[in-house]
C-alpha cells in the first residue's frame, strides 16, 4: 500500500489546513491578537488614570493639538484606502495600480509619522510631566512604533511591487501587509477618539 | 462568528465600521455630553456584539480530494462511532470492495464534551473510542473484512479530513444511528461531508436495536 502511495506522492502528507486559514494569515491573526492585548493594557492604564483620578482631560494648562491630529488621522485613513486600492489592482492584474497604491500608502504613512514627531516637539509637555504626559506618550508612541513597523513592511512590499513581484494569482504578501496596516489604522481611530476627542 | 481580520478586504471593512462606531460615540458625547456618549457606546457595543456572535460566514469550504494511488485498488474509509456491528454496513463494505483490491480504514471519532474538548481533556474519550474501535475491527474480521483502525478527532468531519490526508480514500462510508437517535444526523454531518469532500460518500443507517438496516447512496 505504501509503495502505491509513494508512487504518486513523495514526502509527508499535504499541510493540514483544518482551520481553512493559510498558515501565514493565521500567524498574522495571532500576532494581531497579541497586539490587541498589548494596546488593551495601555488603554486600561489610560482609563484608570483618567477615570479614577477624575481630573479634566487634558489637565490644565496642557492642550492637545486636536486639529493637527485630526488632519493626521485623515491622512492615515486615506492610506488605508490606497492600500485597499493597491490590492484590488493587483487582483485585476493592474500592476501600475499596485505600485501607485503601495507608494502612496507608504508616503502617507511616512507623513503621519513625521507629523507626529513634529507634534511631540511642539506639544508642550513631556512623558515625565505626570501620569497624563506618561500615558499620552505611551499610547501615541506605541501606536507610532506600530506605524514604523507597518512602514517597514510597506517599504518591502513597494520594492517588491516595483521589481515585478506579485500577480493576480500570487499576492499574499500584499494581503498580509494590508491586514496589518488596516489594524494599525483601527488602533489609531481608537487612540484619536479616546485620547484627543473624548 | 466572523473574524473581521481574515482578509485585507474584511480588515478594510472593519476599519470603516470602526470609524462609524467611534464617530457616533464622539458625536453623541460632543453634542449631548458624557452620558449621551456613554449611552451610545453601550447601545452600539451591545448591538455589535449581538450581531457578531450570531453572524455566520456564507461560504462553501474547499473540497478535499483523495490522493491518487494504484489502479485496481480501492480504499474505503469507514467512519462510525459504534454502529460497525450492523450487518448492512459489513455487506456494504464487502460490496464496495468486490473485484478490486480493497483496503479498509475504520475511524472512530473520540467523542467528547465541548468543555473537555476545549480544555484538551480527551484521554478518557480516546480510550473509550479505542475500545469501540477494537470491538468494531473484531466484528469486521469475523465477517471476513480485513481492516485497520484509527481513533480520530472528536469532530467526525475533522476525523474524515485527517484520515483523507493520510489514507487517501476513494470511498467514504458514514455509519449512523437512525434519524431521531443520531446526533450526527441532527448536526448534518453527512450533508456537510458531501459538501466538503470530493469523494463518493455512502450513508449507512444502522438500527442496532431492531437489526433493521437501510442504505442510502
Q: Chain A, 15-74: which have a CB under 8 Å from a chain B CB?
A: 16, 18, 20-21, 25, 28-29, 32
Which residue ranges make up each domain of chain A? 22-197
Least confident stretch, A87-91, B62-66, B201-205? B62-66
Mean pLDDT of A34-52: 89
Which residues, including other chains, have CB under 8 Å from residue A155's CB and lie 6 or more apart? A106
DSSP B38: H
- Mean pLDDT for A29-56 is 86
User: What's the pLDDT score for residue B122?
Assistant: 82
Helices B189-196 and B156-167, axial angle in degrees (round to 10): 30
Name the residue among B8, B54, B52 with its Cα closest to residue A29: B8
Cis peptide before B211 (omega within 30 of 0): no
Residue B169 has pLDDT above 70, yes or no: yes
Which residues have C-beta within 8 Å of that of residue B166, sequence separation ≥ 6?
A: A13
Task: Give the pLDDT confidence of A120-137 residue by residue, as tens digits.
Answer: 999 888 888 888 889 999
Q: What percent of chain B has pLDDT over 70?
A: 85
**CB contact (8 A) between residue A77 and residue B19:** yes
Instruction: Indicate the average pLDDT of chain B.
Output: 82
3-class secondary structure per residue, chain A: CHHHHHHHCCCCCCCCCCCCCCHHHHHHHHHHHHHHHHHHHHHHHHHHHHHHHCCCCCCCCCCCCHHHHHHHHHHHHHHHHHHHHHHHHHHCCCHHHHHHHHHHHHHHHHHHHHHHHHHHHHCCCCCCCHHHHHHHHHHHHHHHHHHHHHHHHHHHHHHHHHCCCCCCCCCHHHHHHHHHHHHHHHHHHHHHHHHHHC
Per-residue model confidence as pLDDT tens digits over B27-42: 999 999 889 999 999 9
Q: What pLDDT digit, counting tens, does each position of A5-15 carry? A: 444 445 544 45
Is the pLDDT confidence value at A70 over 80?
A: yes
Contacts of B82 (CB under 8 A, 6+ apart): B108, B132, B136, B208
The three-state secondary structure class of B181 is coil
Which chain A residues are closer than 8 Å to B166 by Cβ? 13
Please determine, for residue A77, whether its predicted confidence score (pLDDT) is greater than 80.
Answer: yes
Low-confidence winner among A165-174, B32-41, B172-181 (lowest mean pLDDT): B172-181
Across residues B89-113, what is the average pLDDT? 82
Q: Where are the domains of chain B?
A: 8-54, 73-216
- The predicted structure's pLDDT at residue A2: 40
| pLDDT at site B57 | 62
**Residues B53-82: what's their mean pLDDT?**
70
- The pLDDT, as a whole number, for residue A130 is 83
Chain A: nearest CA to B26, how far in angstroms?
6
Residue of A nearest to B60 (CA): A20
State yes or no: pLDDT of B136 exceeds 80. Answer: yes
Between positions 42 and 71 of B, the ones with CB within 8 A of A are 61-62, 67-70
B103 touches chain A (CB under 8 A): yes
Segment B138-166 shows an average pLDDT of 85
User: Rounded CA gap, B182 and B176, in Å?
Assistant: 6
CA nearest to B203, candidates B183, B178, B180: B178
For residue A155 the three cell numbers come to 517599504
Which are the contacts of B73, defined by CB distance < 8 A and separation ≥ 6?
A1, A4, B100, B101, B102, B103
Interchain contact A13–B (C-beta under 8 A): yes
pTM attached to this predicted model: 0.66
Q: How far is CA A149 from CA A116, A117, B137, B214, in A?
A: 15, 16, 56, 61
Mutate to test the interface with B, among A89, A184, A197 (most CBs of B within 10 A): A197
- Percent over 70 (pLDDT), chain A: 89
- CB A116 within 8 Å of CB A136: no
Residue A129 grid cell? 510631566
Q: What is A22-197's CATH superfamily? A: Cytochrome c oxidase, subunit III, four-helix bundle (1.20.120.80)
Q: What is the mean pLDDT of chain A?
A: 86
The pLDDT of residue B217 = 59
pLDDT band at B214 (very low <50, low <70, confident <90, very high): low
pLDDT over 90, % of chain B: 19
Residue B138 pLDDT > 60:
yes
What average pLDDT does range B47-68 have in this prediction?
Answer: 70
Please indicate whether residue B69 or residue B130 has the higher confidence score (pLDDT).
Answer: B130
Sheet-wide strand order for B214-216: B147-152, B101-109, B73-80, B171-176, B201-205, B214-216
CATH of B73-216, one of 3.40.50.300, 3.40.50.2300, 3.40.190.10, 3.40.50.620: 3.40.50.620
> Between A66-91 and A130-162, two packed helices, what is the crossing angle to 10 degrees?
30
B5 interfaces chain A, CB cutoff of 8 Å: yes
Q: Taking CB atoms and an 8 Å cut-off, how many pairs form between chains A and B?
A: 84
Task: Give me the residues of B, 156-185, that contact A with CB < 8 A.
Answer: 158, 161-162, 165-166, 168
Q: pLDDT band at B168, cuts 50/70/90?
A: confident
Amino acid at each position: 500500500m505504501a509503495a502505491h502511495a509513494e508512487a504518486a506522492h513523495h514526502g509527508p502528507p499535504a499541510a493540514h489546513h483544518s482551520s481553512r486559514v493559510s498558515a501565514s494569515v493565521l500567524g498574522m491573526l495571532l500576532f494581531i491578537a497579541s497586539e490587541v492585548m498589548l494596546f488593551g493594557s495601555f488603554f486600561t492604564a489610560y482609563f484608570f488614570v483618567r477615570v479614577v483620578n477624575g481630573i479634566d482631560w487634558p489637565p490644565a494648562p496642557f492642550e492637545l493639538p486636536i486639529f493637527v491630529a485630526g488632519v493626521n488621522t485623515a491622512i492615515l485613513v486615506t492610506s488605508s484606502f490606497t492600500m485597499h486600492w493597491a490590492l484590488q489592482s493587483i487582483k485585476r492584474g493592474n500592476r501600475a495600480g499596485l505600485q501607485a497604491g503601495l507608494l502612496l500608502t507608504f508616503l502617507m504613512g511616512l507623513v503621519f509619522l513625521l507629523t507626529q514627531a513634529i507634534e511631540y516637539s511642539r506639544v508642550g509637555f513631556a512623558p515625565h510631566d505626570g501620569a497624563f504626559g506618561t500615558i499620552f506618550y505611551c499610547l501615541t508612541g506605541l501606536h507610532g512604533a506600530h506605524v514604523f513597523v507597518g512602514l517597514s513592511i510597506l517599504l518591502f512590499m513597494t520594492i517588491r511591487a516595483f521589481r515585478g513581484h506579485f500577480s493576480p494569482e500570487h499576492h499574499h504578501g500584499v494581503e498580509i501587509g494590508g491586514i496589518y496596516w488596516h489594524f494599525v489604522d483601527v488602533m489609531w481611530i481608537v487612540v484619536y477618539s479616546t485620547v484627543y476627542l473624548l | 462568528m466572523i473574524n473581521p481580520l481574515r482578509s485585507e478586504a474584511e480588515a478594510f471593512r472593519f476599519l470603516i465600521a470602526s470609524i462609524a462606531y467611534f464617530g457616533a460615540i464622539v458625536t453623541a458625547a460632543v453634542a449631548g455630553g458624557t452620558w449621551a456618549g456613554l449611552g451610545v457606546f453601550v447601545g452600539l457595543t451591545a448591538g455589535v456584539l449581538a450581531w457578531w456572535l450570531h453572524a455566520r460566514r456564507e461560504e462553501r469550504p474547499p473540497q478535499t480530494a483523495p490522493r491518487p494511488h494504484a489502479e485496481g485498488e480501492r480504499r474505503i474509509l469507514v467512519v462510525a462511532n459504534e454502529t460497525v456491528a450492523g450487518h448492512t454496513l459489513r455487506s456494504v463494505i464487502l460490496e464496495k470492495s468486490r473485484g478490486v483490491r480493497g483496503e479498509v480504514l475504520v475511524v472512530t471519532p473520540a467523542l467528547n464534551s465541548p468543555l473537555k474538548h476545549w480544555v484538551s481533556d480527551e484521554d478518557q474519550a480516546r480510550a473509550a473510542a479505542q475500545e469501540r474501535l477494537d470491538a468494531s475491527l473484531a466484528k469486521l474480521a469475523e465477517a471476513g473484512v480485513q481492516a485497520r483502525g484509527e481513533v480520530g478527532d472528536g469532530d467526525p468531519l475533522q476525523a474524515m479530513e485527517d484520515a483523507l490526508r493520510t489514507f487517501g480514500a476513494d470511498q467514504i462510508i458514514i455509519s449512523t444511528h437512525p434519524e431521531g437517535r443520531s446526533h450526527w444526523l441532527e448536526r448534518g454531518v453527512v450533508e456537510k461531508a458531501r459538501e466538503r469532500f470530493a469523494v463518493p460518500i455512502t450513508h449507512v443507517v444502522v438500527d442496532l436495536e431492531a437489526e433493521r438496516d437501510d442504505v442510502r447512496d
